[in-house]
Structure 1
Amino acid sequence: SAAVRHGDTAQGVRRRMILDRPDVLLTTPESLESMLVSATIDPRALLSDVRAVVVDEVHAFAGDDRGWHLLAVLERLTRLTGRPLQRVGLSATVGNADDLLDWLQGSNRGRRPGRVLAPAASGGGVPEIALDYVGSVPNAATVIARLHPGEKRLVFADSRRTVEQLGVRLGELGVETYVSHSSLSVAERRRSEAAFAQGRDCVIVATSTLELGIDVGDLDRVLQVGAPTTVASLLQRLGRTGRRPGTSRNLTVLAAEDDALLRAAGLLLLWSQGYVEPISPPPHPAHIAAQQVLALALQERQIGRATWTDWLGGLALVPPAEADAVVDGLLGKGVLDQDSGLLFAGPEAERRYGRRHFMELMSVFTSDPQVTVLHGRTEVGTVDPMVLVAKVTGPRRLALAGRTWTVTHVDWTRRRAYVEPAEGAGMARWVGTAVPLGGRLVDAIRRVLLGAIPAGVILSGRASERLDGLRAERADQVDADRTVVLHADGETCWWTWAGGRANAVLHAALTTVDPQLGHPSRTYTNEHVALRVDATASEVGAALAKARARYGEDLAGAEPEITRRAVQDLKFGDLLPGGLAERTLAERLADHPGAVHAAALPRVERRTAG
């Protein structure tokens, strides 16, 4: 027998699961942990017979904090069952499978054999990949409406706002359209996905929510508006097609702006060269250690201060010396109390995570406060509060679930907005966090600007023409073998093309040893480091020499500056003692090898008129 349990599973289904335990349980790490800490069920009775754990799309866990959370929960489950659990990870897009195997083994490492099974890919043939430049989101909708009529099309976009804009515009163009993203209600997403699965001549527009294999039936075409940030994500999207016998994988990328065109071309260049990013767990998960000791105190009702790490089976979330500091921080904030060396949940834990806030403790990601949108009694989804207070002329209209709504009332106390269907365009807005691009991708963009063309990719005339234009416009920023210190348009930048994390290290190193070298108000981007307007290449070289003398050749002590907002966005970061959250973030924002490589390249200085 099989059963499903997640945050939306009804209580009646959960009760039946306890009485009649399934042979196979499909669940999430968060729901598994909620079972471990539950005060209403006995987790040992429910989970004591577990023998194996299968992690689907394991790469999606390993690259962020959900991976550390998953490993910690698996170690606790191992201890609860009293036996080593077989761990199986599934992935179709990973560049370092051996490293991922080692990571997934956890406490089984050295105790049970592990191996990578990588059968040759079957069928599919050479994928059909095209890159087009359309210039705007409305133009992208027009192209999608005209491409492949009569076929099922899955369209990826990289923001909820773009998904909604496309959904509304495609509907206006007479295309049967559904949308799916994380701010829609579960019922709305399921309705869209089920309707699309049953349809034939239709489009579903989605964020990465549909990247990881959710079943929406047989697909004919996959399109991408904009560009993802990794080759692995590109491969996941490409892999949604070509599953039926006699069909091939296909992907059409529609770039709506210049940056997306360059990013897509860079990704496709890396793909054509066989590159897939290695998956690396984020370093120093001190905040996950704080979450785990509190979860263990809830699970066991009390846990030994000196022994809580034993439950993690050797999983070193923090160095031993920091484990005490983490506990001290929780005690100091009242989240934990202690008596005779035993830790238990304190009054602040009840205030933060009691009752309806309980699942907040199980999730390792921060989500901004949202307003629930209701049509009658039906939940449509959630929106950022700012969209409800922004100045408008006439009725306030929202774009949500691929439709336009007029806001009739906002209950700010209960954070609810009531809407009715409307015609015309509506506003769509959510707050997101920008992710620094990796050095390999940014360097690939540099190579595209130098003339590289991805093999095996069909470039439209519009894409080729715009790429040629960008190569001419940005020729002074790139060089085949050197980085560029460029004076242009009243600004001076060091174009390293090293990626956001490497440039964060370089900016920190330069401005620490020479505070006058940096720009007074700007810092760095994925492509460059901003400098004082009259800075020179020789000054950059001198500052790098001082930085090496201060930090060593590896620049290991040069740490990026961490903003207060970044600390606020680190879930459970506020549970850590002073400075530990900042150190965690500094390690995660830094690419020291990339910075060292960029610093070692020769530099050329250029000036442009104007």
Structure 2
Amino acid sequence: MVNVFNLLDERIQEALSKLGMTTPTDTQERAIPVILNNKNTLVIAPTGTGKTESAMLPVMNDILKMSGDDRAGIKAIYITPLRALNRDMLKRLNWWSKELDISISVRHGDTTQHERRKQVLKPPEVLITTPETLQAMLVGPRMKHNLRSLAYVVVDEVHDLASSKRGTQLSIGLERLAKFSKFKRIGLSATVGSPEEVAKFLAGTERDVKIVEVSIAKSLDFHVTQPEVNHSDKQMARKLLTDPDIAAQIRIMIDIIDKNKSTLMFVNTRQSAEAISARFKKLEENIAVHHGSLSKDARIEAEDSFKEGRVKALVCTSSMELGIDIGDIDHVIQYMSPREVSRLLQRVGRAGHRIGETSTGTIITINEDDSAEAWAIARRAHEGEIERMDLHTKSYDALANQICAMALEYGDISSEEVLSIVRKAYPYRDLSRKEFDDVCKQLMEERLIFVNPENGMINKKGKTREYIFENLSMIPDEKRYDVYDVISGRQIGTLDEAFVINFAELGSIFITKGEMWRIVEVTEDRVKVEPIENPQGEVPSWTGEEIPVPFNVAMEVGAIRRIVEEMPDASVKEAVDKIMSAYPTDEYTARKFVEYVRKQIADNFPVPTDKKVVVEDEDKTIMINACFGHKVNETLGRVITALLASKFGSGVAMEIDPYRIKLELPRRIRATDIVKMIKDLEPIYVEPIIEKTLKNTILLKWKMVHVARKFGALSKDVDYERISMEKLLKVFEGTPMYEEAVREIFHDKLDIDMTKMVLEKIRREEIKLIPGRLSPIGNAGFTGGRELMAPETADRSIIMALKDRIMNDHVLLFCLTCQKYSAKKKVMNVDESPECPICGSKMIAALKPWEKDEMELVKKAATLKSEEDRTKVKRVYRNANLVLSHGKTAVIALASRGIGPDTASRVIRKLRDDEEDFYRDILRAERDYVRTKRFWV
């Protein structure tokens, strides 16, 4: 068989020999001849199989064939979705640049004006850039001139772009480029479930494209484990102020890291990344953290420290799924189920980065549902059952952006020509003339373009240029809030607008830079926080950008439950063996799951499965156990809450996970009534009910603001909080902006079609609906947000930490009899029955250190005129009476945060069995204070 490297220029072959690359990989063997044959090509292959060289060797080969004027101008554009990938690609291609004398540059938002000018005057032969910078180049006449002789556009990580609005915008951008330049398209993609869709996205509607798909030649080795707690975990739990099961998870992570030279640890949210960082920091374990909310410098430092071996583990979110070069990786840890098959393949595929190596990964799960979900995903990954990609189609805000861009690019251009260019982009293949005209009409109202009614020419306006350069990206413009520590006064970071609007209430807790903070004030541009020395049982309320579990994965979890349910007479070992024969797991993890399902059966509860939905009631709570995944459960839940809200005339609270819909009702309703409601629900009504319920939701308001910004209808710096929903609806309802906001919510958050299909199956009784009372499986949900945080209930380690904190806090002891004695003492040093050393009185108040002023008020009590001051004096006497009656017990309660004499009295007088319960009540009172203090004026 001919070595495909022999098809390349001799200079390239010599360079390959210098690198020791004499034998092509399977990916290179198959892709290079196709690209050399001048075909539009999509290369789908796992990370580490030489995709970049598959594309760039033929590109550089063609450049070397050119001579003289033929080599003038930009010959190839290499587009990546991240600036970090641009940096990485420049490093990789610089060696080839020097070896072959091919000029290569990078151009993105951080490129200096000096460098940009150099590129205009002497364009590089290969330009590495981002989708947004390509947009800017198309409206720059001189750079546009440099692109006329373009021969290739390579789109790296094309699957990542195709699934976003950035990709939708790029698809039109490439058609605009094709209007004046003849180039071939090469796409590089990780393994995807819909290769044809990605290929059409890359090539557009009027071109053929050859798909080169390389199966996962590297073997994949997954192992799913729910760690078993041992004695050392209980000790670690006390140190970390957490539950033993979470300590066990940390122990397993450390064991894996210690056994390997380099470990990449993926988590699903930035909160998990920060939580792991905080725990490892406490254990003095050296790791680096990498996620999208960190600064560029922090991310580069994390990448370099891992690549250079200064740290053995890098904790990251999806920021590391794409092919940034961080060196060889021995093992991948996935903390909790990766939620999607494609994510698992991309993440574990980063291990064994050298050609032909096995990619090994461990999925550490936190509970039985999480284990079953990870099993389903691991099995599907082995079988190649990957989710289909759901492209954004006919996105109106991206269309508006590109119409304005073409108006600016040409000055004036016929609407027919613009529509023709747009329809060549695959996401807009079905765009109607009416939809196009409606968007143009909206843009005219915003004074961004003018459409001549006589000849249909689209003309730019005075605002067009400013609009385009403010909206080069389809990534939503978000205001940033500075975060300040009220104790030190220093800035500790920033938070994005979405976080602040959806989460930042007074008393809410979050983690950043591995430390935990409580929000004490939110102003127009600042979030003020106080540090939390230890978690004290608090669980951060915000779970971050949750990855939705697909319908088919959730249904397989239901099917695994059914396997156990259908083996009632088998021994536990037989059921465990059956699971272990089908899924990559260990005996303990499988046994935990079998026991989980069998407890449900033993307690006489029906088991929710892929063929059975169990509706449970308890007091004012309804739990619908439905294995339908996030999007279907969100859709079905919204429909049910709308019907119930209409019935009750008041709101219904809803929470969902992939296996449950939890409803909190204003009054009790029976499970049988909910069963009847679902059975009677006509599938055809799902969409109109959902759209109606979206009105007045924060989600729709949020989307409308962002879409309106991309239409130029709202300025980038408009204050979201000051815009009323009523006003937004009045102005935007019936416009393309409103339709786009609704479409995007349907696309990102809901699944109307699958929900209708589920309802049809329920009507045909292929899926049975059963009423019941709240069960162990129903009760087991909604723990995913905890992840590595503190326990939900305060265990002994938390109580001991609280006691330790209070004992080390200071109080001011003040004698109310002689009013001459005062002393600042640690609580631990206060006598059991405090007494004044001057007059012998036991009428001693225990004040907080900042209550010094109250002592002066007591001394002036006879002359006080202010009712507020007199009330403060009464509180001091109430305080002293408690100390007189209860001694040091009262001092401990009064030293606690936010607890005054009245609350302290309730805590002290409560009958309880032991000291720990006393501290639990203090903890509860402190939490109540945090939750309610925002209402105190």
TM bucket, shorter chain: 0.7 to 0.9
Give the superposition deviation at 1:296. Answer: 2.4
Q: Which residue of 2 aligns with 1:3?
A: 105
State the distance in 1 between where 2:316 and 2:351 align: 15
Q: Which whole-Å deviations, capped at 9, do the CAs of 1:356-400 have from their partners, x for residues lacking one?
A: xx45x122232542246799xxx996435878987689xx99732
Q: Which residue of 2 aligns with 1:369?
A: 479
Give the superposition deviation at 1:181. Answer: 1.0
Is 1:438 aligned to residue 550 of structure 2?
A: yes
Q: Which residue of 1 aligns with 2:277?
A: 167
State the distance in 1 between where 2:265 and 2:313 align: 7
Structure 1 residues 389 and 478 mapped into 2: Cα distance closer, same or farther (>3 Å)?
Answer: closer
Counterpart among 563, 568, 572 of residue 707 in structure 2: 572
Q: Which residue of 1 aligns with 2:252?
A: 143
Q: Which residue of 2 aligns with 1:108?
A: 206
* TM-score (normalizing by structure 2): 0.55
State the distance in 1 between where 2:272 and 2:334 align: 11
Give the superposition deviation at 1:454. Answer: 6.8
Find the residue that maps to 2:694 and give its secondary structure.
coil
Is 1:219 aligned to residue 329 of structure 2?
A: yes
Counterpart among 584, 587, 602 of residue 743 in structure 2: 584
Q: Which residue of 1 aligns with 2:694?
A: 562
Structure 1 residues 511 and 166 mapped into 2: Cα distance closer, same or farther (>3 Å)?
Answer: closer
Aligned counterparts, 1:57-456, within 5 A: 57-81=157-181, 83=182, 85-109=183-207, 113-122=208-217, 124-133=218-227, 139-149=248-258, 151-199=261-309, 202-244=312-354, 247-256=357-366, 260-315=370-425, 317=428, 318-337=431-450, 342-343=457-458, 353=467, 358-359=469-470, 361-366=471-476, 368-371=478-481, 382-384=494-496, 399-400=512-513, 432-451=544-563, 453=579
Task: Give 1:489's aligned amino acid.
Answer: E
State the distance in 1 between where 2:326 and 2:128 align: 18
Task: Give 2:273's aligned amino acid.
Answer: V
Q: Which residue of 2 aligns with 1:35?
A: 137
Find the residue that maps to 1:450 and give its secondary structure.
helix
State the distance in 1 between where 2:653 and 2:484 align: 42
| Range 182-191 or range 365-374, more displaced | 365-374
| Residues 269, 444 of structure 1: 8 Å contact kept | no
Task: Give 1:464's aligned amino acid.
Answer: A
Q: Which residue of 2 aligns with 1:45?
A: 145
Give the superposition deviation at 1:429. Answer: 9.1
Structure 1 residues 406 and 270 mapped into 2: Cα distance closer, same or farther (>3 Å)?
Answer: closer
State the distance in 2 between where 1:494 and 1:519 align: 20
Supply the RMSD in Å over aligned alpha carbons. 4.4
Is 1:14 aligned to residue 116 of structure 2?
A: yes
Give the superposition deviation at 1:573. Answer: 4.7
| Residues 406, 422 of structure 1: 8 Å contact kept | yes
Structure 1 residues 49 and 430 mapped into 2: Cα distance closer, same or farther (>3 Å)?
Answer: farther
State the distance in 2 between where 1:368 and 1:80 align: 35
Task: Give 2:190's aligned amino acid.
Answer: A
Task: Give 2:351's aligned amino acid.
Answer: T
State the distance in 1 between where 2:415 and 2:275 align: 52
Give the superposition deviation at 1:197. Answer: 0.5
| Residues 95, 276 of structure 1: 8 Å contact kept | yes
State the distance in 2 between where 1:80 and 1:61 align: 24
Q: Which whole-Å deviations, capped at 9, do the CAs of 1:490-526 have from their partners, x for residues lacking one?
A: 4445544233433455457778889549995145734
| Residues 221, 241 of structure 1: 8 Å contact kept | yes
| Greater radius of gyration (CA) | 2
Find the residue that maps to 1:26 and give its secondary structure.
strand
State the distance in 2 between where 1:78 and 1:362 align: 19
Find the residue that maps to 1:581 and give its secondary structure.
helix
State the distance in 2 between where 1:253 and 1:465 align: 17
Is 1:498 aligned to residue 628 of structure 2?
A: yes
| Residues 193, 389 of structure 2: 8 Å contact kept | yes
| Residues 194, 389 of structure 2: 8 Å contact kept | yes
State the distance in 1 between where 2:580 and 2:400 align: 45
| Residues 480, 525 of structure 2: 8 Å contact kept | no
Task: Give 1:28's aligned amino acid.
Answer: T
Is 1:539 aligned to residue 671 of structure 2?
A: no
Find the residue that maps to 2:293 and give its secondary structure.
coil
Structure 1 residues 217 and 413 mapped into 2: Cα distance closer, same or farther (>3 Å)?
Answer: same
Structure 1 residues 274 and 236 mapped into 2: Cα distance closer, same or farther (>3 Å)?
Answer: same
Task: Give 1:106's aligned amino acid.
Answer: G
Task: Give 1:143's aligned amino acid.
Answer: I
Q: Which residue of 2 aligns with 1:596?
A: 757
State the distance in 2 between where 1:328 and 1:367 align: 24
Q: Which whole-Å deviations, capped at 9, do the CAs of 1:237-268 have from their partners, x for residues lacking one?
A: 01001123674211111224565444323322
| Range 143-152 or range 125-134, more displaced | 125-134
Structure 1 residues 103 and 450 mapped into 2: Cα distance closer, same or farther (>3 Å)?
Answer: same
Find the residue that maps to 2:212 and give its secondary structure.
coil
Give the superposition deviation at 1:335. Answer: 4.1
| Residues 671, 771 of structure 2: 8 Å contact kept | no
Task: Give 1:486's aligned amino acid.
Answer: V
Task: Give 1:590's aligned amino acid.
Answer: D
Task: Give 2:410's aligned amino acid.
Answer: E
Find the residue that maps to 1:116 and give its secondary structure.
strand
Task: Give 2:170's aligned amino acid.
Answer: L
Give the superposition deviation at 1:31. Answer: 1.6
Find the residue that maps to 2:196 and give its secondary structure.
helix
Q: Which whole-Å deviations, capped at 9, do the CAs of 1:25-50 have from their partners, x for residues lacking one?
A: 22221121122234xx6232232222
Q: Which whole-Å deviations, capped at 9, do the CAs of 1:277-323 have from their partners, x for residues lacking one?
A: 11121344122212222232333344444543233253363422111
Task: Give 2:560's aligned amino acid.
Answer: V
Give the superposition deviation at 1:332. Answer: 2.2
Give the superposition deviation at 1:75. Answer: 0.9
Task: Give 1:76's aligned amino acid.
Answer: R
Give the superposition deviation at 1:167. Answer: 2.0
Counterpart among 585, 590, 597 of residue 464 in structure 1: 590
State the distance in 2 between where 1:562 and 1:577 align: 16
Task: Give 1:89's aligned amino acid.
Answer: G
Task: Give 1:240's aligned amino acid.
Answer: R
| Residues 337, 365 of structure 2: 8 Å contact kept | yes
| Residues 156, 223 of structure 1: 8 Å contact kept | yes
Q: Which whole-Å deviations, capped at 9, do the CAs of 1:516-574 have from their partners, x for residues lacking one?
A: 49995145734356685354476246524xx25x66xxx77665543543332364255
Task: Give 1:144's aligned amino acid.
Answer: M
| Residues 383, 429 of structure 1: 8 Å contact kept | no
State the distance in 1 between where 2:283 and 2:156 align: 38
Task: Give 1:33's aligned amino acid.
Answer: Q
State the distance in 2 between where 1:558 and 1:300 align: 44
* TM-score (normalizing by structure 1): 0.81
